[in-house]
Structure 1
Amino acid sequence: MKQLSILFLAIALLACTKKETPNTENLTQYVNTFVGTDGPGNTYPGAVVPFGMVQLSPDNGIGGWDRIAGYFWPDSTIAGFSHTHLSGTGAGDMYDLLLFPTNSRFTDDLWPNQKAYRPYSKFSHEKEEASPGYYKVLLESSGIEAELTTTDRVGMHRYTFPEDVQSKIILDLGYALNWDAPTETTIKIENDHSISGVRKSTGWANVQHVFFVAEFSKPFENIALTPESDMQNDTEVSGKNARFETTFSTTEGEQILVKVALSSASVEGARRNMQAELNHWDFDAVRAAADKKWEEQLSSIRVEGSDYQKEVFYTNFYHLFLTPSLLSDVDGTYKGADQKPKVADGFKRYDTFSLWDTYRAAHPLYTIVCPDEVENMIQSILAHYDETGLLPVWSMAGNETNMMIGYHAVPVIVDAYFKGLPMNAEKAYAACRASGMNDSEEMELYRKYGYVPFSEKGENWSVSKTLEYAYDDWCIAQFAKTLGKEQDYALFSKRADNWKNLYDEKTNFFRAKDIDGNFLEPFVSKEYTNVYCESNAWHYLFAAQHNIEGFRDLMRKERFTELLDSMFTYYPAADDDLPIFSTGMIGQYAHGNEPSHHVPFLYNFTDQPEKGQKYVREIIETQYSNKPDGYCGNEDCGQMSAWYVFASMGFYPVNPANGVYYLGSPSLDEAIIDLPNGKTFTIKAENNSKENVYVQSVTLNGKALTENFITHQQLMEGGELIFTMSNSPK
């Protein structure tokens, strides 16, 4: 591949500290945190700071797929405000430490069939608002106004009460939704205004520990601890469903504030986090500080376009920074993936790595806009390797969930290495190799046969695994070559060609084989079977991201182009039974799921790049919006958003680990990337409009661009990329 040499050009490029760039306008005003809370997006609207440990957000209190993140726009109930949430996933977990204010006005129970009384309130979107780092709602059933904000590790609540002698604040550790279930909970009353404890739970992540310290601005008047417990006295209660309730007499408009500090390690860790981050009661100052953090994060890219375009862009850019999430305390302590106490020495330990999704575009985007945080991410990934012997697959809350497929921490590491980000290269390589040589997820069979054989047992995903393993193998091979490990380079280079072992030249699709090398029959390309991960044969048709030229040449360029055309024009039939993850369909292209996100840019490998420009712009215009249902599929921890950010600026990383960005059709008039080395990279689209989707010419720093891509090195050197747009192909 001619791009291989480009991979190594960026190795000497060193990351620098992010510069502070003055802003002339408030960018957080363009963020709509409710986008994704309707439809399949599965986001939450609450308060969080970039990569924060706390995700303080309202819960409707009802389970189900639509409420995976705790909140669903069509609902009209709020059961409380919990401190941890997942953004845009299909995993119903977290919802730790539910806090809820109530009073004597409304005593209905949202869970009447359960033993414990759990109140709720009606609410309306007309009396609800949110912005990055802030959430506010009127609980209409009680007349209480609730406001939320947060620091990195501490959530802050401000409740404005009406007059009532039975005003209450409840902390319910037994509250659980979806896959989450408490296993051990404890609450201890420390004095007349503070409590501490722990919620241990299981769910998608098997062993979750959330220690906490909560301080109240008003002394407790009356206290009740749940009687449903294994141990109870006047000051402490424990069991699966520990619950604390305090009653106050409040005057009209009286405000009571609560601060809740978290830790995965210990109560003392939570206490240190509280002392370090929030040793005062100034809610508005905390909110302003959270807004400032978001301003600094969002200001790394400044765009020009309509207000609508800015709203969609900055909302997507905002969602990029909700994960990974902080796991370590202010002193570095955290619960490791081996369930033992650990200390992150000199780095911030992150978790919530949805790598099957985010390796594709989110992590390459991080290397541009926040390389310092990428260093923390790489060290966190390697810490997971220290703790478990393997790189993470899909890790969260100090656990490995082993969800999805591949060992996609590898491209994240390799991409960062070739972009010059500091790391212990030998250790990083050892970790990559260990994951590439392990025997889990049918890797032993993959090494034996050169592909994963079909099996009727469960979600075999044999074709998808083979293709994704081959891509990761290519990444390891490039890493090995640079480090002079020639034997490994030869081994993994050979394995990187394993995609060819499942290619059927008669159908031009990747198909499942049994252990004898026979293709599985019958074969219908649009059928969703257990050999493709959340996909069909169309979605994985172009999955050899590391060798698109080789795949194209294998089937001939003409056929390659025909299949690209068919992918966007062969629509499902009306009676096709599409699975829940097949959304955002344009023909067989499913933008609502990740495997084919790079496909529109593959027209750059044909003689008709204008077709890709048309489809990129169509996806931008039809699959994203600034409304609550503004995502066509799960937002997936930043990947769906990263696609938009890249595509709207006019380029995308087809191969996420080779430092090459292929051109598309920029929808924004201008985007200025403030690079961490003090330079800027400006992208302009001249004569741009909704109709002018075709690129007539491109210049880089005043010179005609002769290739249909730019490199990471070119981008980091700063300069100006100018597209000239037209309403007809070149």
Structure 2
Amino acid sequence: MRNIFSLLFFVSTIFCFSQQSSSEKLISFVNPFIGTGGHGHTYPGASMPYGMMQLSPDTRLEGWDGCSGYHYSDQYIYGFSHTHLSGTGVSDYGDVLLMPTNAINFNNGDDRKKGYRAHFSHENETASPGYYSVLLDETNIEVKLTVSERSGMHHYSFPKNSKQIVILDLDHRDKVLSSEVKVLSNTEISGHRHSDAWAKDQRLFYNIQFSRPYKSITYLNAKTKGEKVIAAFEFDPSEGNELEIKIAISAVDEAGAKKNLEVEIGNKTFQQIKSEAETAWENQLEKIEIDTENKDQKTIFYTALYHTMLAPNLYQDMDGRYRGMDLKIHQSNDFTNYTVFSLWDTYRATHPLYTIIEQERTNHFINSLLAKHDEGGILPIWPLAANYTGCMIGYHAVPVIVDAYLKDIRGFNADSAFKAITHSAMQDKLGLKSYKEFGFIPVEEESESVSKTLEYAYDDWTIAQMAKAMGNMVEYQIYLERAQYYKNVFDPETKFMRGRFRNTWFAPFDPYEVNFNYTEANSWQYSFYVPQDISGLINLMGGKAEFEKQLDKLFTAKQETSGRQQADITGLIGQYAHGNEPSHHMAYLYNFVNKPAKTQEKVHRILNELYQNTPDGISGNEDCGQMSAWYIFSAMGFYPVTPASNQYIIGTPLFEKATINLEDGKIFKIEAQNISDKNKYIASATLNGNPLNRSFINHSEIVKGGNLVFKMTDKPSDWATKDKEIPKMEITENLIVPAPFIAKGDVAFKNETEISLGIAPSESEIFYSLDGSDFKIYMKPFIISEETELRTYASNGFEKQSEILSTHFYKIDPNLSITLETQYANQYNGGGKNALIDGIHGANDFRTGTWQGYHDLDLKATVNLGSKKKVKSVSLNFLRDQRSWIFFPTEVICLVSENGTDFTQLPIQKLNAAQLSEEVKTKTILFDVNKNVQFIKITAKNFGDLPKEHLGFGGKAWLFVDEIEVK
């Protein structure tokens, strides 16, 4: 009875609000064009909340800024397809394109004279939740689109007396594996489109019904099925100028698509479907009400809320059938299946937002993730259309599940969920084997080693919290220890997170450098990522004062980055990069060092500068709701710095009032008194009428309803600045001993090298062993003069010790030297100036640090043997990984000399470097010498401009080389 009462109360609340504001519905404050410019990668078309269909115009066929199919800077529409991704950094979807036109033409290329694309103007374009319209000004055809969850409607208005052609293009955008058009009648067709893009085997079926019969069909090359199927349907203009097309899609089969269409649309009119979509969106947006006179901010807020509800996407037919990760058909009567989980992004704020406003749907999301585990064998990292894409890092389905569980959202099998999350953590791939063995991921073992170590550690902390809540103290200890592995990549000298390369620090080190040690970031942008043990990180950095200084430096550092170009690093304030997710919690960290006013200042600046009511109003990829979820939380006044902690860190509110309407009928209100652009600081706060003298609130305080009131002022105050008033995130049990590192010494050396050992701040002692000898306490630096195996570990004297680490030291012939006339890229230095003669060979993965890389430069090197020697051969190795722009050289030239002045050229080795291949391969180039020489001069010609057929056309190639061997 209580549940029925709560539901009626909730419905009545919505009804009252709608009555009061009927003249200005919330959907009128959604601007779907926000994010369609710049690098936002959103689309403006019609979709339902979390719907399967996204019916939107396609203005761009390829390229990074065409990931959603649409970019605001474009002037031509190729057509209207039915699936799109919102804010992603990789392209897919764009299925089943329809385009009205006035001539039969099967080309959709960039040559306007040959193509069916049409010019349009933004002045004649409209978009709102569930609706899109545009005038194709070249053909004077008006297009209107609206949708239901799995189906949609097109309404075309043709000019009088013009030809009426509708193109169905199943070849649009990504690679087609199979497609077909089946004619069921002169008003109905069906078929399928299976494709290969980000999702390597996406299977989609469709059913299309025309409002009046077509009079003829013309097929490209008379093909009705295969890999390039395009059809032109011609309609009789004497039967009217209006044409409506109903379409539904399914991942199961054509019958499923037809059933979806019959149930969702049936005989409903275009206006009925549009009204239903608008009502659905209005109900969704009413979950959070805000009061503000600033219409731009209100539009930004509700557009952000809208964007958080475009994904995950429904992936199940009306009858409960869906295609699983095994690509087989499954039946679900207990949960609704979803796809498109951008988990590396959305675990941070989007899913925590759902735990407040989408509690019931969160259960369906988690059951979907668990089903994917059961069907495919593992929890997904980034699932798309029944495919594992493997994109991004970590196993962030884990915090999504744990966060919900700890917030008492438990409409799933907890035991099965715990088995699934620990299964993800115990894999041996993606660096996990090394992570489990050493307590960190070495640079030479796995790319993006620092970021993966840090994100695995956070994920493991969430596993520990669920284990503890379930009473599993053995697993709790295991994963709480793993949660501290971040300590093993912290360099106490620089106070940055750094890659450990053969147990030394990757060098030379530049915290601004974007390289293969980090994921879409540099060391600045990952060195504050320890959300599970912020107190531990503060201690590593030297205490609160030092931590605050380092945070200040982050926000005031120069904005440029060095190293690899990374388009995702945008929205820079100093080296804080709001356009990419690893930075999203950082402005809130000042609260942990008793300086909430600094958090308030930074959050206010980000809210006002990096979100705008313009097409380029999002500072980076929208990423399936994460950029928007940050705004929603922060504008209300708090943010989930550590998902699964049940704690939200207070920032500063943006609006006079915000009301969260919870699913059970309860209401949580946030009020900011005396707020203005200048009054961004909190002077005091109350919760339910009682003083709130702390800079955080708990999840339970929100979901049981209440009133949070802030009094604002124009100057920093002493509110929530005492130690007992600040948030704490700390690990105090099962503390680990960090693994020691080689602070000084060359792994490949001539003559001798002095070795110094170090450890992250702790009370532990370091022990070492040389060539299998007994371990002894490290007291001072020591010398190595021969090839040696060094083993190290640390112990705290209380039966706690780190893992034993081994490092092999190589001795380079002291007479051997190399001179480089061209400069390698620092992020691919291979170990430094002697990398090509150090005896260490590169593996197939260029990101493991052993290759030396040259960007748009030839390799020019001279090896000096020290004296004349009989040389039989000279060889050197090259890498090809064209997906990463690494090409073999076009030719390799070798010259030899006895005196360094008079050189003899050996036969030039030419390579077919222009041949495109996705195979990663190494190649050894061998020169026969058979004479006395002292000097060997090598030139390897860089491929240069990337070919037109390459995805990176317009860029320059990399040349990767390793180990010049003289025999």
TM-score tier by shorter-chain length is over 0.9
Q: State the shift of 1:573 in Å.
A: 4.2
Contact 2:512 2:562 (C-alpha < 8 Å) held by counterparts = no
Q: TM-score normalized by structure 2?
A: 0.71
Q: TM-score normalized by structure 1?
A: 0.94
Query: CA separation in 1, counterparts of 2:77 and 2:462?
Result: 46
Structure 2 match to 1:10: none
Query: CA separation in 2, counterparts of 1:622 and 1:258?
Result: 42
Query: CA separation in 2, counterparts of 1:243 and 1:373?
Result: 38
Query: CA separation in 2, counterparts of 1:348 and 1:360?
Result: 23
Which residue identity lines up with residue 187 of structure 1 in the other structure? V
**Which residue among 395, 402, 410 is the counterpart of 1:414?**
402
Q: State the shift of 1:249 in Å.
A: 2.3
- Do the aligned partners of residues 456 and 251 (structure 1) sit closer, same or farther apart at CA in structure 2, a change above 3 Å counting? farther
**Which residue among 197, 218, 222 is the counterpart of 1:224?**
218
**Mapping of residues 71-86 of structure 1, within 5 Å:** 71-86=70-85
Q: Percent identity?
A: 44
Secondary structure at 1:353 match in 2: coil
Is it true that 1:358 corresponds to 2:346 in the alignment?
A: yes
Query: CA separation in 2, counterparts of 1:700 and 1:648?
Result: 18
Query: CA separation in 1, counterparts of 2:240 and 2:651?
Result: 54
Secondary structure at 2:582 match in 1: coil
Query: CA separation in 1, counterparts of 2:679 and 2:456?
Result: 39
Contact 1:473 1:493 (C-alpha < 8 Å) held by counterparts = yes
| C-alpha distance after superposition, 1:382-410 (max 9, x if no partner) | 01001112111001111110000000000
**Mapping of residues 10-159 of structure 1, within 5 Å:** 19-20=10-11, 21-22=14-15, 23=18, 24-25=20-21, 26-104=25-103, 110-111=108-109, 118-159=115-156
Which residue identity lines up with residue 543 of structure 1 in the other structure? Y
**Mapping of residues 228-243 of structure 1, within 5 Å:** 229=223, 237-243=224-230
- Do the aligned partners of residues 268 and 117 (structure 1) sit closer, same or farther apart at CA in structure 2, a change above 3 Å counting? farther
Secondary structure at 2:581 match in 1: coil
| C-alpha distance after superposition, 1:150-188 (max 9, x if no partner) | 000001100011123521111100111xxx211110110
Structure 2 match to 1:590: 577
Q: State the shift of 1:345 in Å.
A: 2.4
Structure 2 match to 1:205: 199
Which residue identity lines up with residue 272 of structure 1 in the other structure? K
Structure 2 match to 1:6: none
Structure 1 match to 2:592: 605
Secondary structure at 2:693 match in 1: coil
Secondary structure at 1:595 match in 2: helix
Is it true that 1:440 corresponds to 2:429 in the alignment?
A: yes
Structure 2 match to 1:450: 439
**Mapping of residues 271-286 of structure 1, within 5 Å:** 271-286=258-273
Higher share of residues assigned strand: 2
Structure 2 match to 1:649: 636
**Mapping of residues 674-713 of structure 1, within 5 Å:** 674-713=661-700
Q: State the shift of 1:542 in Å.
A: 1.1
Is it true that 1:473 corresponds to 2:463 in the alignment?
A: no
Query: CA separation in 2, counterparts of 1:226 and 1:198?
Result: 17
Query: CA separation in 2, counterparts of 1:501 and 1:439?
Result: 19
- Do the aligned partners of residues 538 and 209 (structure 1) sit closer, same or farther apart at CA in structure 2, a change above 3 Å counting? same
- Do the aligned partners of residues 442 and 228 (structure 1) sit closer, same or farther apart at CA in structure 2, a change above 3 Å counting? farther
Query: CA separation in 1, counterparts of 2:290 and 2:558?
Result: 35
Query: CA separation in 2, counterparts of 1:133 and 1:439?
Result: 44
Which residue identity lines up with residue 70 of structure 1 in the other structure? G
Secondary structure at 1:535 match in 2: coil
**Mapping of residues 252-271 of structure 1, within 5 Å:** 254-271=241-258
Query: CA separation in 1, counterparts of 2:673 and 2:42?
Result: 35
Contact 1:389 1:434 (C-alpha < 8 Å) held by counterparts = no
Secondary structure at 1:695 match in 2: strand
Secondary structure at 1:127 match in 2: strand
Structure 2 match to 1:329: 317
Higher share of residues assigned helix: 1
**Mapping of residues 265-344 of structure 1, within 5 Å:** 265-305=252-292, 306-344=294-332
Query: CA separation in 1, counterparts of 2:296 and 2:626?
Result: 21
- Do the aligned partners of residues 110 and 440 (structure 1) sit closer, same or farther apart at CA in structure 2, a change above 3 Å counting? same
Structure 2 match to 1:386: 374
- Do the aligned partners of residues 307 and 165 (structure 1) sit closer, same or farther apart at CA in structure 2, a change above 3 Å counting? closer
Which residue identity lines up with residue 298 of structure 2 in the other structure? K
- Do the aligned partners of residues 301 and 146 (structure 1) sit closer, same or farther apart at CA in structure 2, a change above 3 Å counting? same
Is it true that 1:508 corresponds to 2:495 in the alignment?
A: yes
- Do the aligned partners of residues 108 and 263 (structure 1) sit closer, same or farther apart at CA in structure 2, a change above 3 Å counting? closer
Query: CA separation in 2, counterparts of 1:443 and 1:157?
Result: 49
Secondary structure at 2:494 match in 1: coil
Is it true that 1:547 corresponds to 2:536 in the alignment?
A: no
Secondary structure at 2:583 match in 1: coil
- Do the aligned partners of residues 243 and 35 (structure 1) sit closer, same or farther apart at CA in structure 2, a change above 3 Å counting? same
Q: CA RMSD in A?
A: 1.9
Contact 1:61 1:110 (C-alpha < 8 Å) held by counterparts = no
Secondary structure at 2:499 match in 1: coil
Contact 1:165 1:249 (C-alpha < 8 Å) held by counterparts = no
Structure 1 match to 2:389: 401
Q: State the shift of 1:706 in Å.
A: 2.2
Secondary structure at 1:375 match in 2: helix
**Mapping of residues 474-623 of structure 1, within 5 Å:** 474-514=461-501, 516-555=502-541, 556-573=543-560, 579-623=566-610
| C-alpha distance after superposition, 1:138-158 (max 9, x if no partner) | 011111100000000001100
Which residue identity lines up with residue 123 of structure 1 in the other structure? F
Contact 1:68 1:91 (C-alpha < 8 Å) held by counterparts = yes
Contact 1:362 1:638 (C-alpha < 8 Å) held by counterparts = yes
Question: Any stretches of 5+ residues in structure 1 without a counterpart?
Answer: 1-12, 230-236
- Do the aligned partners of residues 640 and 112 (structure 1) sit closer, same or farther apart at CA in structure 2, a change above 3 Å counting? closer
Secondary structure at 2:193 match in 1: strand
Query: CA separation in 2, counterparts of 1:252 and 1:658?
Result: 64
- Do the aligned partners of residues 614 and 61 (structure 1) sit closer, same or farther apart at CA in structure 2, a change above 3 Å counting? closer
Question: Which protein shows a greater Rg?
Answer: 2
Query: CA separation in 2, counterparts of 1:571 and 1:587?
Result: 5
Query: CA separation in 2, counterparts of 1:382 and 1:58?
Result: 34
Query: CA separation in 2, counterparts of 1:304 and 1:461?
Result: 44
- Do the aligned partners of residues 573 and 117 (structure 1) sit closer, same or farther apart at CA in structure 2, a change above 3 Å counting? closer
Secondary structure at 1:245 match in 2: strand
Query: CA separation in 2, counterparts of 1:646 and 1:251?
Result: 55
Which residue identity lines up with residue 76 of structure 1 in the other structure? Q
**Which residue among 375, 392, 397 is the counterpart of 2:363?**
375
Give the paired residue count: 702
| C-alpha distance after superposition, 1:446-475 (max 9, x if no partner) | 101111110387xx0000000000000001
- Do the aligned partners of residues 17 and 224 (structure 1) sit closer, same or farther apart at CA in structure 2, a change above 3 Å counting? farther
Query: CA separation in 2, counterparts of 1:165 and 1:37?
Result: 32
Point out the more displaced range, 237-246 or 293-302.
237-246
**Mapping of residues 628-643 of structure 1, within 5 Å:** 628-643=615-630
Structure 1 match to 2:165: 168
Secondary structure at 1:223 match in 2: strand
- Do the aligned partners of residues 348 and 118 (structure 1) sit closer, same or farther apart at CA in structure 2, a change above 3 Å counting? farther
Q: State the shift of 1:572 in Å.
A: 2.5
Contact 2:214 2:236 (C-alpha < 8 Å) held by counterparts = no
Query: CA separation in 1, counterparts of 2:480 and 2:712?
Result: 40
Point out the more displaced range, 577-586 or 384-393.
577-586
Question: Any stretches of 5+ residues in structure 2 without a counterpart?
Answer: 718-967
| C-alpha distance after superposition, 1:335-373 (max 9, x if no partner) | 111111112222110000000000000000011111111
Contact 1:162 1:251 (C-alpha < 8 Å) held by counterparts = no
